[in-house]
Structure 1
Amino acid sequence: MTALHTHIYQQILGEYLEQICIRENDIDPIDINRAKFYTRAIFIAYVFVQNENGVKLNIDEVYNWISSNISNECLFVKLINDSDPSLLSIVESYDIPIYDGNVGLLYEQLLNIETSGLKITKGKEYRNNLGSYYTPQYLADVLITKTINQYINNGNNDILDARIVDFSCGAGIFLTGAIEYITSLFNKEEQKRLNVQRRIACNIFACDVDCIALEITKLNILKVINDYTLYSTLSHNFYHGNFLMHSDTNSTEEIRKEITMNGFIYHEALSINIESLQKYDIILGNPPWEKIRFEEKVFYSQYTDKLHNINFKFELPVLIEQTHRNNSKINQYAQIYKAHLETAKHNIKNSSFFKGSNNGELNTCTLFANAAYRLLKNNGVAGLVVKSSVVTSQVNKRFFEAIRYNIDAIYDFVNKNKIFDIDGRERFCLLIIDGHEKESITLGMNLQDIAEINNNYINISVNDFAILNPETKMLPNLYSIEDFRLLLKIYNNIPVLSKVFKNIKYGRLVHLTNHIGFIDKEPMVDNIPVYEGKFFSLFDGSYSGFNDVSIQDRYKSKASAKRLSGKQKQQGVYPLSRFFIKRQKWEQLSKQYNASYMLAWHSLTSATNTRTCVATILPFMPASQSVQFLVIDNNGSLLYLAGIFNSIVFDYIVKCKLNGIDLTQSVLNQTPIPPIAFAENITVTVNESTISIKDLMHQICKLLLSSDARLKTLCDEFEVTESFLYEYSREELFHLLDIIVAKLYNLTPDEFSYILGKFKKQYSNNTVNTIIRRYMAFLD
């Protein structure tokens, strides 16, 4: 049913746009935005009233029903009055079937129907601008239940009079859910149930930057309590605006509506009056998840179809300039839009209200979470769906420090099962904040299904965060109580990287967008190749490249490189790059690095990948933003770090620390690394030969890297004294590396076996047993 209605809406919008716009070069973004706004509003009003009546109606009947049964002040009454008659005629010309589903869900789907100039597309531009994603009912219900139960467990007996709010309410799924759950705790008799619901509804508050969504929330609440006479009461508690923007003045409702129609999200007129920043008992919601920035492709794609085939961000400026030349109205609107956005960013950055959450690039998720914390009563509880980076990313360190003793629970999810219609690697969490301070929190990590909340969690002391993440004191990526105990042991015995190697320099230098003026697509005498993460793997600097890939396929979206064969590697074939940077620019970017070699790793990764840390040593060279690297002034240390980074034990620890998809130096600096002195002082006996772990690691790493002629000078510094190593296969060398690193970390056989068992795609049970037998021999 939803698909049918979205299709009809798409047809109506397309037909209406054809009437109001003649040529694409004459498109006025404001006209496009207003057309989308009115079409969404009229369509939703039509569907809602037909749903309520169970029969098909015309526009006049829809208007009269809302006026007489709800209020003349209802937004939909005003919009029908103000609508272009031709739009109303188009809507009436379609046979719109009665919709028996959730109107809020339908509205969320309508937001996916976007314009691309005069064309209609199914995209997410509007939702991406808002950073909003539809919350599944079952997920909302779990968070509502846990939040309200915690409020009651805190000794609050006033649940019927609790002030409940959602600062970014969307279609009101959390607010209607709260009413229904609280009602279920009381008398089931019909009249008493209705009285309870009305009492709760009178204490419901809401805000949203989308006034249509806000109106849908009102109607959904009134429908739940079966009392449309409370429209005025609800309206008094509802505010149309952007909760991240504050002002000591109030713009009129009409002005705010006009600004929203025109497509603005961050505009001074949408600011919340600071007198409205009151305290609440229960705060619920799934606030936007986006960074506050001007997304060029998202913005311009709404008004022209010329940008849809762009696969690389650095290609945008030329097309944007052409768009501006062809249509001055788009240029003018873009400048106004950006100016308001920059003003909002400046004000938020300098706001004392958002102190602790306004560091670095502004993220709406953290800002809303901070607002919830700031506006929570002492006995109150907040339950939010937020990105996991709110409680894991170093940029949010100050905010986490402020709330950590007030966290009741965190349930962290990997979006592998597509709970949200976004990247399956993304992580989000249910964050429950309590007005009372606590010494420990309930923690569920790496959940994939909502049902896991009830049985896959641990209780952890807040103070243990400082042990596991000494620099940020933030949330680790724990899978189980076993992980927690093992990590505590490792951290209590092994210092972190930043304490062991203090002369490391990190880098991620070439950014294809920021350095667009210096990037070529063909090799020239004045440029040099840019390496990409897909070019290398574990101890393999020639894993794949764009060799034998057509020019057209190299630059398409998500282009795939081709694996280099063993024969190609033997012949000295190296990965073919598709981007090149001007030599002079590279020399400028890299002048602070005096190094011949670098330890590089995939920056874009995930804790759910087979291997999270994928590293190798490369000649010091330009690498794209998908690659991070470190250099150090001692090649022995570089080889040692390469061995540690590519070990299974280190990978396990990194998996337990990585909560996003970017393996940054912040994560690595807080990861335990055995000092080289440990490796020098510990000897092992292999094939009746006794050798220090440091020397054995150097020799293993040399053999794993020696096929790369670019590293010959480096490898020549280290002699392979243990001739038996030449008889080992590459796989056997990796196994031996894993064994000696496990010994460096002082793991018991059971602990090492537990870690190996986490890598089932890489190690079979037989292989694990073989490795453990060899490891036990090392311990004798």
Structure 2
Amino acid sequence: AYLQVRDLAEDQPAQAEQLYRSRLASPDYWEQRLPYDLWCAAFFTPLRQGEAIPTSYDVWQAQADPKLVPEPLRQAARSLAEQHRFFHWHLAFPEVFDAAGKGGFDVVLGNPPWELINLEEKEFFEGKDEAIVNAQTGAERKRLIEQLQKNNPPLFQAYRVALFEAEALSKFLKYSGNFPLSSSGRINLYSVFAEKDRRLISPTGRAGIIVPTGLATDYGNRNFFSYLVSTRQLVSLYDFENRKKIFADVAGNMKFCLLTLQGTENVSKQPIKFAFFLLSADDLQNEEKVLELAPEDFALFNPNTQTCPIFRSRSDANLMRKLYQQAPVLINEKTNQNPWGISFKQGLFNMTSDSHLFRTRKQLETLGFELHGNIFTQGEQVYLPLYEGKMFYHFNHRWASYEDSKTVNCTEKELQDINFVSFPRYWVSQNQTIQRLSGKEIINLLVFRDIAGSMNERTGVFCEIPLYAVGHKAPIINIEKNKESELMILSNLNSYIWDYCLRNKIGGVSVSYFILMQTPVFKDEKYNFQLRCCILPKLFELIYTAWDMQPFANRLWQESAPEMRQLYLEQRTSNYQANPEGIGNLTPKGWENRLDAYECPFPPFIWDEERRFQLRCDLDALFGHLYNLTRDEFAYILETFPIVRRRDEAQYGEYRTKRVILEKFDALADDPMLMGACTPLAERVSVLSPSAQPILPDSEPELDEAEEYAAQPEPELVDVEEPAEQLEAVPAQPEDAAEPEPPAVPAAVPATKEQQSLPFNTQADSPIISDYTLYRCPICDKHILGFDLERHTREVHLGKDPGYKKIRKK
């Protein structure tokens, strides 16, 4: 019958259509598809008492003789097949696929939907119940939905059915075995469509698909993308930004790509073609923007995930390849190598779910607590500052302070006061903080900013801070080794060269662990004694600038050898001689001449902006040699920081940072301490062409440092008048959630007890209230600051503007 339809389709389309529809309605057709409908129906059949459920045995019976399957089960399978539109490719295209699914199309073209597999409550109730749609918090919305059981049972039942169907579809995608590479974690339809398209092409066929670039860069797509690369079925990936509105209804910052795949018989050893940050198809004519990467490049750049790095040009790809050949990745999960003994922790307190633990200054003062520096005490109770990412910067734990619920940058005069401390929005119990640290003996924290972007002035921001509470957007790095080793890695991570590497790997506005782990960082063994003698005293001066860092200074002093202690004293002398009036009467009695003391024998270093600039340039110049860069390569990297350049030119009339670093780089070239640590400068070979220039964004944001790391939405705080002793209650700390792994594919048809209950999450969402101007997402009911709208649109709603609503300041 299918062949008859095909033969009639061109000359007699009306007759072909009539014949086709008759075929679809015939009993023979439904018997032919019964085994496959039963198998699919197992995923979508609710478990209800007294109702039949398809099993593997029923599928086998249908294959042997469809009439052996009980009629009620046959009717139920057909009903579900019509409802969910079960599609069996070998029955729809018998001349393309055989019964085993072998075969394929010569060409597949697709623009699949970009949607997550989950039921959005607000979207479902739009036009059905406006009270639920307009609920101010997730908790309120869930309460209203539950009330529907009494107030509107039909709507409640419709909601439960829709919720079940979304869950059933998710289980089908995860456990059917049809999408083993794209169905882990939160499933997006574009990923499963792309995997299906790969399987639909013949061994000599090709597929062209338009999908978000996240298919190549996101952690959740790592299995599928690495498979495409390793099997060489990926032909090309051309990444576009939608700033010229190629797709009119998609946000301008949305990144999508033209993905070309090939069948298994077409694979070759040819490199894969890539281009990134394109604005139109005409950009593909720019040879510098089109680059080639081989499978071994992905193993070099991203050995853990095999995901795709993001390069603006061939020059960037070549330079990154060289940098990765100089240093191993921070943590290699494939080889189980973690030379620094590093682990990560997502801060100590979630700014939303832990907000009931936070106290404001007004609350604590009302309860009789006294402020000492930036710490509140009352008897044995202590409340520590809750640090957020925007409060620190490179080697500066006092970068910004809160005033009237807003951050302001600390002035140079304030930083020169070694007694000055930054003030947070909130304080948290010291007992809570220590418990979150799992009882470990920690004297201070090495933290970094989670929120960052490749277009910021700097992308990676790492800092040593006192032992304070920290929010979840200031993740903690734990290092098994001593303080000296911790400082060596800190100096590496705060260098311009490492930051350049990070900027070529980050596609959004979050520095994820999986990205950090796959950046090139030197091992501890790289730093010989001479290098440590050069680096550590400079770091000591950069970090130990206030009394609240005294525990850090004490620990570093305790762990240091006599020779290193002497260098610290010389650094201190140099710092004080450059600022003879800076220390004044701030030095307590008895702090001089304590060279063998258990504690550091001198007060904090005096803040000197020019000295600090020179010290940081010294360190950056040194890392230029350690990464074996030529002078033109180093100059190229420094040109990829346009905001640094613009600020220098505005203040000094030149790109001073670049000039000073390169001058120091030249002066270090023949320094004996580099012997054995790097290749002599004269013997290094540049990977750049003489005319290579960085390709920078068409426009960069004019960022103010105080807002470069914008505030997270302010959590709800309840004014309390409870006794002080009740503030110490410690709730259980949940375990950190692990990254999702792909599920195992079961061999039999899964008809489990999980299908008996309709999923319904009653966990209340914590409301978010802010003194800042916020936007509310009408789909997911989240409050989002203006700076984060683009990221939220891109990563949560896949570029489709949900219609944000502005919330005015209180």
Q: TM-score range by the shorter chain?
A: 0.5 to 0.7
Give the equivalent residue in structure 2 for 1:721.
570
Paired residues of 2:110 and 2:210 also in contact (CA < 8 A): yes
Q: Is residue 2:140 matched to residue 1:284?
A: no
CA-to-aligned-CA distance 1:85-128 (integer Å, 9 cap, x gap): xxxxxxxxxxxxxxxxxxxxxxxxxxxxxxxxxxxxxxxxxxxx
Residue-by-residue CA offset, 1:382-410 (whole Å, 9 max, x unaligned): 22222222112333232123211111111
Give yes or no for the alignment of 1:743 onto 2:625: yes
Segment drifting more, 702-711 vs 468-477: 702-711
* Aligned residue number for residue 496 of structure 1: 329
Question: For residue 100 of structure 2, what is the aligned residue in structure 1?
Answer: none
- Residue of 138, 147, 158 corresponding to 1:316: 138
Structure-2 change in CA distance of 1:573 and 1:470 (3 Å): same
Q: Which residue number corresponds to residue 283 of structure 2?
A: 452
| Distance (Å, rounded) in 2 between the aligned partners of 1:600 and 1:236 | 68
Q: Which amino acid aligns with 2:615?
A: L
Distance change >3 Å, CA 601–CA 425, structure 1 → 2: farther
| Aligned with residue 441 of structure 1, among 265, 272, 275 | 272
CA contact (8 A) 2:402 2:422 kept: no
* Change beyond 3 A, Cα 1:519–1:431: farther
1:704 and 2:542 correspond: yes
| TM-score, L = length of structure 2 | 0.56
Cross-structure match for 1:346: 171
Q: Does the 8 Å contact 1:649/1:741 carry over to 2?
A: yes
Q: 1:548/1:423 Cα in 2 relative to 1: closer, same or farther (>3 Å)?
A: farther
TM-aligned CA deviation for residue 650 of structure 1: 0.5
Name the aligned partner's letter for residue 350 of structure 1. Y
Alpha-carbon distance change, 495 to 334 in structure 1, aligned in 2, over 3 angstroms: same
Give the equivalent residue in structure 2 for 1:363: 188
> How far is the alpha carbon of 1:714 from its aligned partner?
0.9
- Which residue identity does 1:375 align to in structure 2? L
Give the secondary structure class of the aligned counterpart of 2:323: helix
Are positions 1:730 and 2:568 aligned together? no
- Other-structure match for 1:544: 400
Return the offset for 1:546: 4.3
- Structure 1 unaligned segments of length 5 or more: list them: 1-198, 204-226, 239-245, 252-265, 550-559, 682-691
Q: Give how far 1:752 is off.
A: 0.8
Count of paired positions: 517
> 2:79 aligned with 1:273, yes or no?
no
Q: Distance in 2 between matches of 1:645 and 1:696?
A: 17
Paired letter, 1:543? W
Query: Quick one: distance in 2 between partners of 1:654 and 1:236?
Result: 60
Which residue of structure 1 lines up, in the alignment, with residue 55 of structure 2? none
Alignment of structure 1 residues 205-220 onto 2, 5 Å: none
What is the one-letter code of the residue matched to 1:428? F
* Structure-to-structure mapping, 1:283-432, within 5 angstroms: 283-296=108-121, 315-322=137-144, 324-325=146-147, 328=152, 331-404=156-229, 405-415=232-242, 426-432=254-260
Change (3 A) 1:398 1:250: closer
2:306 aligned counterpart, secondary structure: coil
Identity of aligned residues (%): 24
Matched, 1:468 2:350: no
Cα shift readout 1:129-171 (whole Å, capped 9, x = no counterpart): xxxxxxxxxxxxxxxxxxxxxxxxxxxxxxxxxxxxxxxxxxx
Q: Which has the higher helix share?
A: 1
Match of 1:669 in 2: 517
TM alignment of 1:154-303, pairs within 5 A: 248=38, 269-275=83-89, 276=92, 279-296=104-121
Contact 2:108/2:197 (8 A) holds in 1: yes
Query: Is the CA contact (8 Å cut-off) linking 2:453 and 2:509 kept in structure 1?
Result: yes
> Which protein, 1 or 2, shows the higher relative CO under an 8 Å CA cutoff with sep ≥ 6?
2
Distance change in 2, residues 1:453/1:309 (3 Å): farther
Matched-pair contact (CA < 8 Å) for 2:198–2:261: yes
- Give the one of 330, 340, 345 matched to 1:507: 345
Note the C-alpha offset of 1:430. 1.8
The unaligned stretches of length 5 or more in structure 2 are 1-5, 25-35, 42-79, 98-103, 332-336, 365-380, 558-567, 579-609, 671-810
Q: 1:752 aligns with which of 628, 634, 638?
A: 634
Question: CA 1:777/1:288 → structure 2, altered by over 3 Å: closer, same or farther?
Answer: same
Secondary structure at 2:173's aligned position in 1?
Answer: helix
- Taking the aligned partners of 1:733 and 1:423, their CA distance within structure 2 comes to 43
Work out which of the residue numbers 656, 664, 668 in structure 2 matches 1:778. Answer: 668
Query: What one-letter code is carried by the residue in structure 2 that aligns with 1:769?
Result: R
Within 5 Å, which residues of 2 pair with 1:638-657?
Answer: 638-657=486-505
CA displacement at 1:537 relative to structure 2: 2.5
Q: CA deviation at 1:339?
A: 2.4
Change (3 A) 1:316 1:360: same
Q: Which amino acid aligns with 1:733?
A: L
TM-score (norm 1): 0.58
Counterparts of residues 111-190 of structure 1 (less than 5 Å)? none
Cα deviation, residue 590, structure 1 = 3.5
2:474 corresponds to: 627
State the distance in 2 between where 1:746 and 1:590 align: 39
Q: Distance in 2 between matches of 1:233 and 1:411?
A: 43
* Cα deviation, residue 295, structure 1: 4.2
8 Å CA contact 1:518, 1:582 repeated in 2? no
Q: Deviations over 1:419-449 (max 9, x none)?
A: 5566665533221111221331111023344
The SS at the match of 2:454 is coil
Rounded to whole Å, the distance in 1 between the matches of 2:638 and 2:302 is 23
Q: Indicate the larger mover: 621-630 or 608-617.
A: 621-630
Secondary structure of 1:762's counterpart equals: helix
Letter in 1 for 2:208: G
2:532 aligned with 1:694: yes
Q: 8 Å contact 1:426–1:661 — kept in the other structure?
A: no
Contact preservation (8 Å) 2:347, 2:476: no
User: Aligned with 2:393: secondary structure?
Assistant: coil
- Superposition deviation, residue 463 in structure 1: 2.3
Distance across 2 between alignment mates of 1:388 and 1:543: 35
Q: CA offset at residue 775 of structure 1? A: 0.7
Report the alpha carbon displacement of residue 296 of structure 1 after superposing the two structures with TM.
4.9
